[in-house]
Amino acid sequence: MRRRLPAVVSVPGVAGVLVVLPFILSSYHTFLAAEVGVFFVAVLGLNILTGYTGQISIGHGAFMAIGGYTTAVMSRDHHTNLILTILVAFAICFVVGLLFGLPALRLSGAYLALATFALAISVPQLPLQWSRYLGGSGGVQSPETKGNVWIYGAAWSVSAVLFLLAWLILRGRVGRAFRAVRDSEIAAVASGVEIGVYKTLAFGISAAYCGAAGALFVIASNGFAQPDQFNVALSLQLLIGAAVAGLGSLWGILAGAAFVGLLPNISPSVPIIGSEQGRDVVYGLLVVLVMLVLPGGLAGLPARLRSLRRGLNRKSKPVKLRGSSSQ
């Protein structure tokens, strides 16, 4: 078994650091940390789907788009409280996720990947089509903008609440069912787990998380929602974040969120990774390397190091997708 910091120490520890951070960081760095918080929520949600339930999605940027536009439009038309819009985005995306998951999860493996990819492609086109309500390519501007510290607080408060919620969901019966679906659909069915119900539920939950992340994302970009922000690249980044995060560890998800949230914000003055193309090269290389070297994502890093140190070439536990993927 893996030895690690007990949750009683690590979770309050991380929370403590997060509470102190805005007081010591500059305004810009606080904003970056807030950005990481936004992606923390999204990666956490996607991790429930890919990591725990073993279903792939290349389209969760679409749910971020839906959540983001919910916030922007509600704020523009009704001056709704921004916090309330996050809740609404969460709820709407949960329902949309369930509705999409219902048919899509009849598809398995590669077909599901393609269907979610279709979602990632299609949803950002909708504002262009219904430009009267959704602002077209010009986007939607919410009248309310917030300071960096407010955004930071909102992002990490939502993160904390949703992290707790995820823990509550995953520790019990539902979480067990999710893992059963991932490890072997056949065994899950044989044990009385309704595969369809749990797959759809996982899809809905992860969609809801990404919806909340999308709402925060729009708030963090000065209340501005635009189709280009939610392109396919965003969906790919989320998937990469979830993969880098590995499975079910706070540290992994933090690392995955930092990876996705910080890399695009590195200043242009840094050599190589400062430029866009250099960043792409490093980004791509890192993703490939992490997958090659760390089967369990960054969450598996300590275990991997230990096993290397012991000279054992035993692999740490990989993120498996058996049963659902191959035939």
Partner 1 sequence: MERLKTADVGQVAIAVVLLAGAIALLVCSLGSTKFATSTVAGVALGLVYGSLALALVLIYQATHVINFAQGELAMFTTYIAYQLIQWGLSYWEAFFATLAIAFLLGTVLQVAVIRPVQHRSVIATVIVTVGLFILIDGVVNWIWGGSFRSLPSPFGIASYDVGGVPIEHLWVWQAGVVLAGLAGVWALFRFTKLGLAMRAAALRPASAALAGVRVEVMLAIGWGLAALLGAVAGLMTEPSQYFLDQAFMQPILVYAFAAAALGGLESPAGAVVGGIAIGVLQTLMVGYVPQITSELQLPLAFALILAVLLVKPNGLFGRRQVQRV
Q: By CB under 8 A, name the one of 10, 98, 109, 141 that touches partner 1.
A: 109
Q: Which stretch binds partner 1 (CB under 8 A): 17-25, 68-76, 78-86, 109-117?
A: 109-117
Q: How far is the CB of 316 from partner 1 (least distance, A)?
A: 11
Judged by CB under 8 A, does residue 21 bind partner 1?
no
- Dist CA 75 CA 95 (whole Å): 21
Q: Which is nearer to partner 1, 126 or 262 (CB)?
A: 126
Q: How far is the CB of 56 from partner 1 (least distance, A)?
A: 5
- What residues contact 123, with CB distance under 8 A and at least 6 apart? 59, 61, 62, 65, 66, 230
| Side-chain half-sphere CA neighbours of 176 within 13 A | 7
Q: Which is nearer to partner 1, 5 or 285 (CB)?
A: 285
In 131-187, DSSP assigns E strands to: 140-141
Judged by CB under 8 A, does residue 50 bind partner 1?
yes
Q: Identify whether the C-beta of residue 80 lies closer than 8 Å to the C-beta of residue 70.
A: no
Q: By CB under 8 A, name the one of 11, 126, 149, 174 that touches partner 1.
A: 126
Judged by CB under 8 A, does residue 313 bind partner 1?
no
Q: Identify whether the C-beta of residue 31 lies closer than 8 Å to the C-beta of residue 220.
A: yes
What is the residue type of 236? L
Count of residues in contact with partner 1, rule CB under 8 A? 54
Q: Interface residues for partner 1 in 184-243 (CB under 8 A)?
A: 185-186, 189-190, 236, 239-240, 243
Q: Which stretch binds partner 1 (CB under 8 A): 1-9, 49-57, 69-77, 156-164?
A: 49-57
| Side-chain half-sphere CA neighbours of 143 within 13 A | 8
- Dist CA 295 CA 199 (whole Å): 24
Angstrom CA distances, 323 to 178, 184, 326, stand at 13, 5, 6
* Contact set with partner 1 (CB under 8 A): 50, 54, 56, 58, 103-104, 106-107, 109-111, 113-115, 117-118, 121-122, 125-126, 128-129, 185-186, 189-190, 236, 239-240, 243, 276-288, 291-292, 295, 318-322, 325-327
